Amino acid sequence: MTPMPDKLTSSEPASAAATEVPQAASAARKIYPIVKYGDPILERAGAPVKKFDAELEQLVEDMFASMYGAQGVGLAAPQIGKSLRLAVVDVTGGKNPEAKIVLANPEIVHAEGEVREEEGCLSIPGFRGYVLRPQFVTIKAQNAKGEAFEIRGENLLARAFCHEIDHLNGILFLQHLSMLKRDLIKRKIKKLRKQGEW
């Protein structure tokens, strides 16, 4: 998911936020290209994560680095071409290492309230739309070591959890928009693709 710029940079000058290179994006990390809308992997449900080994831990760190590199606040494995139920979220954009959340096999166990807010997606760059999401969600998931945990998110964090879990089910935010808005975006993407710009 892409951040809401006004909210993410409210405590710092926009220029500082834009040029900052988060610590986590170290030179050793692999930066994956982000799969764009149109690739069928984005509309397929991912397979459960079963092996929690060193390879998975490396993949998770590479996903964080790829997400920070693309200035996102959430990234799901299908977005880097891996059809797995795995996502990373950091609504601080790399500013707080404690805000890094790994979601392996996540499920929503409780949702409450409603918030209509604009959101975007790293796989659909340049397009945003208003999506109704729960204000609070509690999810259960496993971390990179396979340990089960529960976490509650509010507002942007709740939205990021829902957006990423949607990805693991092959659902994009476009599917939550009105048919009119969705078709408009799809037409524009089709045009971009014809021009070789997508």
42 binds Zn ion (CB under 5 A): no
Closest to Zn ion by CB, 124 vs 144, is 124
- β-strand partners of 139: 108, 151
Residue 74 CB, nearest approach to Zn ion (Å): 7
Q: Which stretch binds Zn ion (CB under 5 A): 8-16, 92-100, 115-123, 129-137?
A: 115-123
Q: Are 82 and 10 in contact (CB under 8 A)?
A: no
Q: Which residue is nearest to Zn ion (CB)?
A: 121
156 binds Zn ion (CB under 5 A): no
Residue 1 CB, nearest approach to Zn ion (Å): 5
User: Which is catalytic among the residues 20, 114, 164, 197?
Assistant: 164
Closest to Zn ion by CB, 89 vs 121, is 121
Strand order of the β-sheet with 148-154 is 74-76, 86-89, 101-112, 136-142, 148-154
Please give the C-alpha separations between residue 184 and each of 92, 116, 136, 165, 189, in angstroms, as whole numbers.
Answer: 31, 20, 30, 25, 9
121 binds Zn ion (CB under 5 A): yes
Q: Which stretch binds Zn ion (CB under 5 A): 36-44, 118-126, 138-146, 148-156?
A: 118-126
Residue 2 CB, nearest approach to Zn ion (Å): 8
67 binds Zn ion (CB under 5 A): no
87 binds Zn ion (CB under 5 A): no
Largest CA distance in the chain: 46
What are the b/e assignments for 71-84, b being 16+ CB within 10 Å?
A: bbbbbbbbbbebbb
Annotation says 118 is catalytic: no
Quick one: how many helices (H) and strands (E) in the chain?
Answer: 5, 7
Binding site for Zn ion (CB under 5 A): 1, 121
Q: Which residues are designated catalytic?
A: 164
